[in-house]
Amino acid sequence: MRYLIPTIAAALLAAGSAHAAETAPNVTYSEKAQKALEKFEPVGRASCIQLSQVRSSQIVDQTAIIYKINSRKWYVNQPAGGSCRALKADRTLVTQITTGSLCNLDIVGVIDPPSPMHFGSCPLGDFVEYQRKP
């Protein structure tokens, strides 16, 4: 019995460490994306966001899409695989969903707004929540 307690404590500690690593954002953005986020700090991670809360979206570059909820809260998505060549700042996202949420592994299309030119599609990754620094 006395060996069981340290084993349980070690298992709980390991589970807590795994959870902390799971919620801590572990994403590498381009310099341009880092500059766009310099006044914000990561506070969490989500697999889905509610589109009804999104006020605007912005393609930063191949590594980041910013979904602005309000001036203090943004979600940043790095496409699955780290980047997507179709993403460029002057292009527009086309999102087709059947629920009210946009989730990781959903596919977004990328078009040129003045023309119907379709540049490809990108699978989304997890969403990292950012809040404005105090």
Report d(CA 52, CA 130) in Å as an integer.
18
DSSP assignment of 11-41, as one string?
A: HHHHHHHHHHHHHS------HHHHHHTTTEE
Tokens 């509610």 found at: 50
Is the pLDDT assigned to residue 122 strictly greater than 90?
A: yes
Percent of the chain with pLDDT over 90: 70
> CA-CA-CA-CA torsion for 108, 112, 118, 122, nearest 10 degrees?
-30
Query: pTM for this structure?
Result: 0.79
pLDDT band with cut points at 50, 70 and 90 for residue 59:
very high
